[in-house]
Amino acid sequence: MRKSGSGQNNGRGGRSGARQDFRSRDDKPARKSASGRASSAKAGGVKSAAGKPRAAASALREKPAARPKQARPAPAEAPRGPTRAQARAEAQEVLATGVQTLVVEPDEADMRVDRFLVARFPQLAFTHIQRIVRKGELRIDGKRAQPNDRLAAGQKVRVPPLKLDQPRPVSRNAAKDQDDRDFLKSITLYEDKDVLIINKPMGLAVQGGSGTKRHVDGLLEALKDDEGQKPRLVHRLDKDTAGCLVIAKTRFAASTMAKSFRARTTRKIYWALVAGVPRVRQGRVSTYLAKEGDEGDSRMRVAKHGDEGASHALTYYAVVDTAAQKLAWLSLKPVTGRTHQLRAHAAHIGHPIVGDPKYFDIENWELPGGIQNKLHLLARRIVIAHPRTGKPIDVTAPLPPHMQQSFNLLGLDTSRYDPIVEAPEE
């Protein structure tokens, strides 16, 4: 078993440190109001011919003969443009037969290019779209696109010709749609016309993949509006991580909240049950993480700055309570949002999360009786600015059943003060 994190990285690359006294800081971004510019137009008039009274009198005397009034032709009705659904159907038809150039609309600005294609071509599988991007067949203003490229209004996206040999989806089953809507409603923590936050159950994938048929993105099909637009995922959780998942119900909300995540103004708090008790009760883990392994069985490894694919990852943690020095209840605040970040960081400091099939690497460690061998990680709380009002939405998820069982067995009280709220935001 590795030693607990004490501000050293044991030579495994990256940096990890401890900080005893967290400083709280209000990181709400100042909202700038843009004042509109009022424009005034001067009315132009015909000047009188001063000094020429005779010409004026003559003009008054010589009135031209009145012309018969002619009926004005009725203005032709402006042709109506295609609806969004019709435009999307036409775009899909072109996509199947030849190259197409799409212009990014203002409400699509700041979307990832792969999400942009999902919105424009909902009949294409997400894995299919990823394959197109990965092969370099997609161009943004003439340049090869990357999956995480963000789009700007007015940019041109060149889409290659595709053979849509898969059958068009048949009309959805009304009873199944209703079941999916009822299920989503049963796990809803917050909802308004722009935002939906659900309590994602453990074991439910966020997106589809190889062998994954039921997932949140698929369930959202039941919430499509009259124009065929469905709510959009703003971020992701691992399949076995339970808790708060934010979903945008409009394009505007998706764009605005995505910026909040990237600007790191969204506050996220996770709870985990880990093996052992960290010697440093409140700490900071700072490393570089890089993906290794095949796509279907990949994991994150601690890397060095400059390694290929390595990204910096920063996490604050605090010990909330312990159980017989064998287990610890950790509260975690990720500053960055790397894949498997919390799981990799917990293992890095020598205290992997209980039930983690990828990162739990303590030999001869026995699971205490009555505790299920499932990932004990919960996206406990999220605070995000509302996309329209800017006011914070503060949502908390309850413990999933297997974690609630473990907390009951260990005598851990969820009402206990959580010191992670005092951790810095960056």
Q: Can you tell me the distance from the alpha carbon of 406 to that of 173, in angstroms, rounded to the nearest whole number?
A: 39
DSSP H or E stretch at residue 126: helix 126-134
Closest Cα partner for 150 from 48, 255, 253, 247? Answer: 255
The contacts of residue 359 (CB under 8 Å, 6+ apart) are 299, 340, 343, 344, 346, 347, 352, 353
CB atoms closer than 10 angstroms to residue 425: 14
Q: Can you tell me the distance from the alpha carbon of 223 to that of 177, in angstroms, rounded to the nearest whole number?
A: 8
Closest Cα partner for 380 from 134, 200, 178? Answer: 200
In the predicted model, what is the mean pLDDT of residues 95-102? 68
pLDDT at site 398? 97
- C-alpha distances (whole Å) from 2 to each of 129, 284, 345 are 42, 18, 13
CB atoms closer than 10 angstroms to residue 261: 15
Higher pLDDT, 406 or 55: 406
Residue identified by tokens 């610890």 is 328
Q: Does residue 418 surpass a pLDDT of 90?
A: yes
- How do residues 142-162 score in pLDDT, each as one tens digit? 888 887 788 888 899 888 876
The contacts of residue 124 (CB under 8 Å, 6+ apart) are 117, 118, 162, 164
Architecture of the domain defined by 174-426: 2-Layer Sandwich (3.30)
- How do residues 352-374 score in pLDDT, each as one tens digit? 999 999 999 898 898 888 899 99
Among the listed residues 114, 238, 240, 418, the single catalytic one is 238
Read off the DSSP letter of residue 140: E
pLDDT at site 161? 72
Percent of the residues in the chain that have a pLDDT greater than 90, as a whole number: 48
At residue 377 the predicted structure's pLDDT band, cuts being 50, 70 and 90, is very high
In the predicted model, what is the mean pLDDT of residues 179-188? 96
pLDDT at site 110? 80
pLDDT at site 99? 76
Q: Which two tokens stand for residue 294?
A: 């095949």
* Catalytic site includes residue 413: no
Q: Can you tell me the distance from the alpha carbon of 385 to that of 389, in angstroms, rounded to the nearest whole number?
A: 8
Q: Can you tell me the distance from the alpha carbon of 403 to that of 396, in angstroms, rounded to the nearest whole number?
A: 15
162: helix, strand or coil:
coil
Q: Which two tokens stand for residue 65?
A: 């003969």
In the predicted model, what is the mean pLDDT of residues 48-69? 44
Percent of the residues in the chain that have a pLDDT greater than 70, as a whole number: 73
- Beta strand spans in 324-423 (E): 327-334, 377-385, 392-396
Q: Does residue 86 surpass a pLDDT of 70?
A: no
Q: Can you tell me the distance from the alpha carbon of 186 to that of 181, in angstroms, rounded to the nearest whole number?
A: 9
Higher pLDDT, 374 or 40: 374
Q: Does residue 26 surpass a pLDDT of 90?
A: no
Q: Can you tell me the distance from the alpha carbon of 184 to that of 177, in angstroms, rounded to the nearest whole number?
A: 11
In the predicted model, what is the mean pLDDT of residues 30-59? 42
- How do residues 313-353 score in pLDDT, each as one tens digit? 999 999 999 998 899 999 999 999 999 999 999 999 999 99
CB atoms closer than 10 angstroms to residue 218: 15
- How do residues 125-148 score in pLDDT, each as one tens digit? 777 777 788 788 888 998 888 877
Q: Does residue 65 surpass a pLDDT of 90?
A: no
pLDDT at site 346? 98
pLDDT at site 239? 94
Pick the CATH number of 84-159 from 3.20.20.70, 1.20.1070.10, 3.20.20.80, 3.10.290.10: 3.10.290.10
pLDDT at site 85? 61
**Summary count for the chain: helices (H), strands (E):** 9, 16
Q: Can you tell me the distance from the alpha carbon of 160 to that of 113, in angstroms, rounded to the nearest whole number?
A: 14
- How do residues 218-227 score in pLDDT, each as one tens digit? 999 999 887 7
List the domain boundaries for the chain.
84-159, 174-426
Q: Are 291 and 313 in contact (CB under 8 A)?
A: no
- Beta strand spans in 160-241 (E): 188-191, 195-200, 232-233
In the predicted model, what is the mean pLDDT of residues 32-39? 45
Residue 130 one-letter amino acid: Q
Ranking 99-113, 262-276, 296-310, 341-355 by mean pLDDT, the lowest is 99-113
pTM: 0.67
283: helix, strand or coil:
strand
- C-alpha distances (whole Å) from 413 to each of 255, 277, 322 are 38, 17, 11
In the predicted model, what is the mean pLDDT of residues 172-199? 94
Q: Are 221 and 230 in contact (CB under 8 A)?
A: yes
Residue identified by tokens 């960056």 is 426
- How do residues 71-81 score in pLDDT, each as one tens digit? 555 555 545 55
Mean pLDDT of the chain, nearest integer:
80
Residue identified by tokens 């294409």 is 124
- DSSP line for 11-51: TSSSEEEE-SS------PPPPPPPPPPP---PPP-PPP-TT
Q: Can you tell me the distance from the alpha carbon of 230 to that of 120, in angstroms, rounded to the nearest whole number?
A: 11
Q: Can you tell me the distance from the alpha carbon of 415 to that of 332, in angstroms, rounded to the nearest whole number?
A: 16
Q: Which two tokens stand for residue 258?
A: 């995505």
Q: Can you tell me the distance from the alpha carbon of 332 to that of 269, in angstroms, rounded to the nearest whole number?
A: 6
Q: Are 204 and 193 in contact (CB under 8 A)?
A: no
In the predicted model, what is the mean pLDDT of residues 3-30? 44
Q: Are 289 and 310 in contact (CB under 8 A)?
A: yes
pLDDT at site 415? 95
At residue 113 the predicted structure's pLDDT band, cuts being 50, 70 and 90, is confident
State phi, psi for 375 to the nearest 5 degrees: -60, 120
DSSP H or E stretch at residue 321: strand 311-323
Provide the terminal-to-terminal Cα distance of the chain, rounded to the nearest Å.
30
At residue 15 the predicted structure's pLDDT band, cuts being 50, 70 and 90, is very low
pLDDT at site 12? 44
